[in-house]
Amino acid sequence: MGCHMPVSLAMMLGACVKPFDAWRRRPGPGFGRPPTAEMDSGEQRRVTVLERCLGSLAAVRPAPPPQQEKVEASNFSERLQLNYCPTKRSEVLRSLRPQEEPAFAAARGEGEAAVEIHWTPAFGRYLVAARDIAAGEVVFREAPLVVGPKAGAGPTCLACLKALPEDTWEGCEQCGAPLCRPQCGGRGHGERECELLALLGLKHEPRNTSRVKQLNALLAPLRVLLLMERSPAAKAIVDALQSHVEERRGLPIGRFVETHVVAVLRERLRLAFAAEEIRRACGVCDTNSYQVSAGEDRVGRALFAAASLMNHSCTANTQHWYHDDVMSVRAVVDIPEGAPVTYAYTNVLWGTRARATHLATAKLFTCGCERCLDPTELGSHISSVKCRECPQGLLLPPAAASAPWQCRACGASVSAIAIETLVRAGGAALGRLQPEDARSVAAAHAHLTRILGDTHYVVVEVKRALVRAIMATPLADITQADLERVLDLTSELLRLADRLQPGLTKIRGLLLLERSRALVELLWRCNTGAEGDAATHLETLICNIPGCATLLQNLTEDLAKCEAILLYDSRFSGVKEVKQRLETLKLTIKTSLLSKEMGKIDFTDMKTGDSPRHVSIGGN
């Protein structure tokens, strides 16, 4: 679900509600779906539609892995059934290694769904594990009902979601809407849509950016409406999804929809849909869409039937990958039978108020999980701001938005407005970052750490940007000091991820990848003696065989974990590359050891260390 980096602390935590996460156990009395009498008849009907959808999906033969999937756009229910692919039994992490993927696919049989629908008045419907699900397992796969550009995005190819340069894109020959090339129309940008968009007159106003933004805001709802027109099965499902249409009426989003979607579709595109139907389609898209990306330059939003029933958690137990037009929802930690299967609707590396603002304005609810109610955010202090009065002190967010922030160490207090101004300034500096320029990112890091402190989420964001900026440079050109900085930053960020988002998450995969790349490069330099006195360091490592072996063993394990996590990710090839480099390095070190007759060391059968850790290899 879409996330944007917010720069203000406009919203406060709302009323305490029972945390959704508290229900991790098997349903007991009072848990899950209450007797029908307690659910109103409309809700009951909607649950039944979605339940039928899940039930029929569970009985069909699962689809092949996503690479081989051929999705027919025309027949919605068949498409959904083909792609809803519950795995039959728990699979352990190692089963997800790419070379074992066919076996993993074969292990899926006809059988029970991994999830079922529950309902409570406070949380509405939500998915619950119908059996134990193992970390790394694909809980289900699903093809989208519709896909479209993100609302508010710049020029984006309507067919393949490729981001287009602001002023040089070519429009569709018929309607003038953005396409990366005329032939990219077809399935993504169909005939009926093209006829309708021609009425917007884009062809006569080539590359009008504000028109394009307006188009991006209405395209997903338009595609939902056209799908409902074509397919009664799809209509039944969309009708059953939550839209918050009533609550949105008096809000800014309601007014935006009225002007930029309802009026345009009815008056300019002369669509016969009732205004309320259009409002509902907009509400369904905004409440349920997932942000999907097929590579870094192809980002959009997509609506799914089953995945729309996953409720939010700030420590979610699943993440999704979008690959070849199919979304794979994977467990990032073990999910016991009966526990809610959840997904984070916000960026979990934002502070609580930023997350709460997004959830309140885009999804219209207040999260009341343990982290949201804890001012230290599970000890991470990701919202705390550095105290000016004492060296180690942190100002913690108060429960009430307007109350002053207080330092736990020295008792100093600072007004809410002053803190908000600081965080806004930090957000603005983040917005001005030149992400490809490692030097300027490093300067911003130093500056923002001075203002906000080392733990604040704006600083965390800059640390991630710094790792990316350094590691985007060709490896051979990165200084030893910068490589060591990457080791420190990634290790620190991995510890933060352990606290806030444990498990086989994308951020863990990416951090492990960058840390491994940096470490292998440093070892390589030691090995070749390319940098200064580095050969001596290798000598030291070789003399210390257990240390050397543990280091290489940890690296091997990190890369295996990384491979399992990034299996469906476009950055997967990066893991392969660093793995090959590590294997060559191991061979060289082994040969070197043997030539020195110092040891008979088997790197493939080393005692495993605990979690991966930063191993200092010295060398200033």
Ligand X SMILES: C[S@@+](CC[C@H](N)C(=O)[O-])C[C@H]1O[C@@H](n2cnc3c(N)ncnc32)[C@H](O)[C@@H]1O
Q: How far is CA 343 from CA 301, 348, 353, 555, in A?
A: 16, 11, 19, 30
Instruction: Give 17 or 433: the residue with its C-beta nearer to ligand X.
Output: 17
- Helix or strand (DSSP H, E) at 170: strand 170-171
CA–CA distance, 80 with 103 (Å, rounded to integer):
23
Contact 87, 95 (CB under 8 A): no
Q: In whole angstroms, how close is the CB of 301 to ligand X at the nearest point?
A: 12
CB of 346 or CB of 527, closer to ligand X: 346
Between 350 and 365, CB nearer to ligand X: 365
CB of 1 to ligand X, least distance (A): 7
Q: Report whether 530 contacts 478 (CB < 8 A).
A: no
Q: Considering beta carbons, is residue 309 or 478 the nearer one to ligand X?
A: 309
342-343 and 311-312 strand pairing: parallel
Taking the complex as a whole, the smallest distance from the CB of residue 360 to ligand X amounts, in Å, to: 10
Q: Please list the residues that pair with 299 across neighbouring strands.
A: 293
Residue 298 has what DSSP assignment? Answer: B
Binding site for ligand X (CB under 6 A): 20, 123-126, 241-242, 287-288, 308-309, 311-312, 363-365, 367
- Give least dist CB 345 to ligand X, A: 7
* Closer CB to ligand X, 218 or 309, in the complex: 309
Contacts of 174 (CB under 8 A, 6+ apart): 194, 195, 198, 203
- Identify which of residues 240 and 278 has a Cβ nearer to ligand X in the complex: 240
| Residue 454 beta carbon to ligand X: minimum distance, rounded to whole angstroms | 30
Tell me, rounded to whole angstroms, the distance of Cα 599 from its chain centroid.
45
Q: How far is the CB of 438 from ligand X (least distance, A)?
A: 38
When the beta carbons of 138 and 309 are compared against ligand X, the nearer one is 309
Rounded (10°) CA dihedral 322, 327, 332, 335: 180
- Cα–Cα–Cα angle for 191, 195, 201, rounded to 5 degrees: 140
Closer to ligand X by CB, 84 or 365: give it: 365
Which of 198, 373 has the CB closer to ligand X? 373
Residue 309 amino acid letter: L
Provide, rounded to whole angstroms, the least separation between the CB of residue 54 and ligand X.
Answer: 13
Cα–Cα distance, 132 to 233 (Å, whole number): 31
Smallest gap from residue 12 Cβ to ligand X (A):
17
Shortest reach from residue 499's CB to ligand X, in Å: 20
Of 351 and 612, the one with the shorter C-beta distance to ligand X is 351
Give me the least distance between CB of 364 and ligand X, in Å please.
5
From residue 273, alpha-carbon distances to 193, 222, 283 in Å are 15, 10, 15
| 147 vs 551 by CB, closer to ligand X | 147
Minimum CB–partner distance for residue 137 and ligand X (Å): 21
Considering only CA atoms, which of 287, 323, 340 is closest in space to residue 331?
Answer: 340
| Least distance from ligand X to the Cβ atom of residue 42, Å | 12
| 187: Cβ contacts below 8 Å, ≥ 6 apart | 73, 159
Q: Which residues contact 572 (CB under 8 A, 6 or more apart)?
A: 98, 563, 566
Tokens at 395, concatenated: 């100002």
Q: Which is nearer to ligand X, 36 or 392 (CB)?
A: 36
Measured CA to CA in angstroms, residue 53 lies from 57, 81, 210, 325 at distances of: 6, 8, 39, 20
Question: Nearest to residue 80, comparing CAs of 223, 225, 220, 231?
Answer: 231
What 3-state DSSP class applies to 312? strand
Cα separation, 263 vs 247, in Å, equals 20
Distances (CA, A) of 597 to 550, 586, 600: 20, 16, 8
CB 371 within 8 Å of CB 359: no
Neighbours of 250 (CB within 10 A): 9
Say if strands 326-331 and 138-142 run parallel, antiparallel, or are unpaired.
antiparallel
The three-class DSSP label of residue 175 is coil
| In the complex, minimum distance from the CB of residue 143 to ligand X, in angstroms, rounded to a whole number | 17
**Beta carbon of residue 150, minimum distance to ligand X (angstroms, whole number):** 17
**Which residue's CB comes closest to ligand X?**
124
CB 258 within 8 A of CB 221: no
- The candidate with the shortest Cα–Cα distance to 187, out of 248, 144, 241, is 144
Our CB check for ligand X shows the closer of 287 and 319 to be 287
Judged by CB, which is closer to ligand X: 46, or 162? 46
**Paired tokens of 578:** 């660093």
